[in-house]
Structure formats: structure tokens, C-alpha cells
A and B are shown apart, each in its own frame.
Chain A
Amino acid sequence: GENVEQHPSTLSVQEGDSAVIKCTYSDSASNYFPWYKQELGKRPQLIIDIRSNVGEKKDQRIAVTLNKTAKHFSLHITETQPEDSAVYFCAASMGQGGSEKLVFGKGTKLTVNP
């Protein structure tokens, strides 16, 4: 079925360390993979996304890698800061052309300790 697995469910790091969150998806036709950050009580907000024709994308301290063969993608946050603490969701587009929807992982609660 349509499924996105996300690991770990919780992650605690020291300020300045790197954090890595991994996701796998089930639909080999998926071609769009966004990552969202959700702070407590707020809406999810897009932080970075990648399409299947690209293997890696970077935006300052955030990078995402995609391995289409293995059907997994990862979020990398370097030089973490306390304000990076939030829940992070990966997602993959699934469905037929023109009717794709985003299927989300269950989230990773990241805590950056000062």
C-alpha cells in the first residue's frame, strides 16, 4: 500500500552536532519528496524538498539526499541550534498522474540541547 516509514521517532542531539532523519517510501512512481517542520501548536512548514531527477539538494544547514533505487531519502541538519527543535515530517507524492497526494511519515521529534 501507500506508505512512508520515518526513523527515528525521537532524536536528541547536542547543539552544534548534526541530525539525520531517514524515510523510506513504497511507491516507486513517487517523484516529489518534501520535508516539513512543525513547531508545537503550529502548522507544518516546508523546509526543503527534492524531486526524483536530483540526488541531493542543500540549503544552508539543511540538505536532503534521495536514493530512488533503494526508495529512501534523508534529511541532514548540520550545526544544530536549539531553535531547530521541532517535529520533522517527510512526505512522498503518491498516486496517478494528475491526482498525486502527499503521504507523510509519522514524524521525528528533534530536541537540540543547548
Chain B
Amino acid sequence: NAGVMQNPRHLVRRRGQEARLRCSPMKGHSHVYWYRQLPEEGLKFMVYLQKENIIDESGMPKERFSAEFPKEGPSILRIQQVVRGDSAAYFCASSNQGNTEAFFGQGTRLTVV
């Protein structure tokens, strides 16, 4: 079991470009969470997905951000028209239920230049 896999580990984008972050949950896990972490700050909840469903997206900005978790393949967090303020570490976590241990991926560090 390879654990939660995120790629890329580092991503550099120019302002206005799109960023696409991928997360493959642990085998057998159908719950995926995305969190954003700014330097020296905590983990801010963005979105919670189960296969083909968004369960809670209350932490995700209404514009430019979207997430999906298709029946096949990884979960994708997509940021359109990135701005400097989007620079952060984005962590994905997975679990087999909503209120059990969540395992984190290594994160994707997005830098917008």
C-alpha cells in the first residue's frame, strides 16, 4: 500500500495560468479531503469528496477553484487563473469513513510567480 500519493510535489505557475493538483487515495479509501496550508499556519479545510460526489465544499473559494473525484482515477483540485495569493501547500488526505483516521499525502507546494 503506497499510501496517499500527491503529484506534482512542486508546481510553479505564472499568474493567470491553471494549476491542476492530483491525489490518489490509499487503496480502499473512498473519502478524500483537500486542505490548504499557508507558511507558518494551520490546515484549512477546502473540500470533502467521495467517489463522484462533492460532500462539503464550504471551505473552497466560489470562483476559480473546483474539485472532482471521478469513479476512476485520482481526485483533482483545479485552480484556474492563479494569483499570487494561491501560493501555498495543498494537502490531500483520505479515509475509509468520514470520522476515522485520515492519512495525508506529501502535499503539493504551489508557487505562483
A44 touches B56 (CB 8 A): no
Counted as pairs of residues, one from A and one from B, with CB atoms less than 8 Å apart, the total is 56
A34 touches B102 (CB 8 A): yes
Secondary structure dominating the interface of A: strand
B99 touches A32 (CB 8 A): yes
Contact of B104 among A44, A103, A107 (CB under 8 A): A44
Tell whether B105 is near chain A: CB-to-CB under 8 Å.
yes
Neighbouring A residues of B69 by C-beta, 8 Å? none
A101 touches B41 (CB 8 A): no
Secondary structure dominating the interface of B: strand
Complex CA–CA separation, A32 to B98 (angstroms)? 10
Residue picked from B41, B43, B91, B105, most chain A C-beta under 10 Å: B43
Complex CA–CA separation, A43 to B106 (angstroms)? 5
A31 touches B101 (CB 8 A): no
Neighbouring B residues of A44 by C-beta, 8 Å? 43, 91, 104
Complex CA–CA separation, A89 to B102 (angstroms)? 13
CB distance from B93 to the nearest CB of A (A): 8
Which A residues are within 8 Å of any B CB, using their own CB? Answer: 6, 31-32, 34, 36, 42-46, 49, 89, 93, 95, 98-107
